Amino acid sequence: MSSFVPTNYDLRTALVFCYHLKKTAAESHRMLVEAYGEHALGKTQCFEWFKKFKSGDFDVRNEERGKPPKKFADNGLQALLDEDDTQTQQELADQLNVTQKAVSNRLKAMGKIQKVGKWVPHELNERQQENRKTTCEMLLDRYKRKSFLHRIVTGDEKWIYFENPKRRKSWVNPGEPSTSTARPNRFGKKTMLCVWWDQKGVIFYELLKPGETVNIDRYQQQMIDLNRALREKRPEYGKRQHKVILLHDNAPSHTAKRVRETIEAFSWEILTHAAYSPDLAPSDYHLFASLGHALAELRFNSYENVRKWLDNWFASKEELFFWRGIHKLPERWEKCINSNGDYFE
């Protein structure tokens, strides 16, 4: 892919060329978008320039007339970005003694875009990639024969930190990686959230006390509590010919013999899930992603405050939010297959 980023002058010159080829403004705009994507002129701008061409004015530089000279050089802005590319536009403007709007315009002219830093995933080996691909092919084939998404109950654990840093955004060129953000201090004060949900919403969750973790005994009891909550909140499962399909990961406490026997006693099916696949687990890619965004920069001073906040946050989510999380699965299975089992964007 070409790294060329056209200037406004380049784009307007291309419009003159299109005009003399008897192209319409709309056709010319589509051609610019096809060639330059997000760097193309807007449709309204194309129509305005075609009006000028029709009047006999082909001076594509006249958009710059009357504008004050640039108040700072791009190399000064780039130097600040090289020093710290996570600075906000206002922070950059303050150091350059210009307006935030001026910085915004120059960043756009330089072809900079803003990306949110992402956590680095597990490095997959070939065997793990093949397992992910094979699992997704099997699940997608089953889904195409007959949808089973309405039967899925999924769950996982997530640490809730009392102090939550915010992932940084950085100004980079298209195609360049963004600046990484360190995860919260794993030795800081925290509490573990264990939650199970389906396409209608949260069915059951438990917030462990600080210092507590999930072991086999705890998870077995949680499965019993989940079954009780299902009977109360989802009585339709008791009337269906097909029972619950449980989607959870391969943590040792989840796959222990006693836990499997408890799940079998409920006549639940366990959905196949490839190891090291948070991008294929609705709790990770949907629920916890949204939860993590909401937690950014929050600070809690007690366990009870965390519980109260979670109660309010879960209650604020509409049913459609949970439906979307479950029904993204076929699309993500397909993306995993197309990437040959590797992680995908």
Please state, rounded to an integer, the average pLDDT across all residues of the chain.
Answer: 86
Greatest C-alpha distance within the chain: 83
Summarize pLDDT for 225-234 with one digit per residue, the tens. 999 999 999 9
Q: How confident is the model at residue 336 (pLDDT cuts 50, 70, 90)?
A: very high
Most trustworthy range by pLDDT among 42-51, 115-124, 282-291 = 282-291
User: What is the arrangement of strands in the sheet containing 190-198, beginning at the earlier edge strand?
Assistant: 201-207, 190-198, 152-161, 245-247, 269-270
- The amino acid present at 270, given as its one-letter code, is I
pLDDT of residue 118: 47
Domains of the chain and CATH, by start: 8-64 (1.10.10.1450), 74-111 (1.10.10.10), 126-338 (3.30.420.10)
pLDDT of residue 73: 65
Look up residue 99 and give its DSSP letter. Answer: -
In degrees rounded to 5, what are phi and psi of residue 202? -70, 130
Is pLDDT of 171 > 80?
no
Mean pLDDT value across residues 112-139: 78
Look up residue 317 and give its DSSP letter. Answer: S
pLDDT of residue 114: 63
Most trustworthy range by pLDDT among 47-56, 95-104, 204-213, 292-301 = 204-213
pLDDT of residue 179: 57
pLDDT of residue 120: 40
Q: How confident is the model at residue 172 (pLDDT cuts 50, 70, 90)?
A: low
Q: How confident is the model at residue 5 (pLDDT cuts 50, 70, 90)?
A: confident
CA distance 120 to 84: 20
Closest C-alpha among 8, 322, 330, 334 to residue 154: 322
Mean pLDDT value across residues 191-213: 96
Query: What burial class does residue 141 get, using C-beta atoms within 10 Å of its C-beta: 0-12 exposed, 13-18 middle, 19+ buried?
Result: exposed
pLDDT of residue 262: 97
pLDDT of residue 166: 64
CA distance 36 to 1: 11
pLDDT of residue 219: 97
Contacts of 228 (CB under 8 A, 6+ apart): none
Cα-trace Rg, the chain? 27
The helix (run of H) or strand (run of E) holding residue 196 is strand 190-198
Mean pLDDT value across residues 197-204: 97
pLDDT of residue 62: 56
CA distance 194 to 223: 11
**What's the pTM?**
0.61
Q: How confident is the model at residue 311 (pLDDT cuts 50, 70, 90)?
A: very high
pLDDT of residue 64: 46
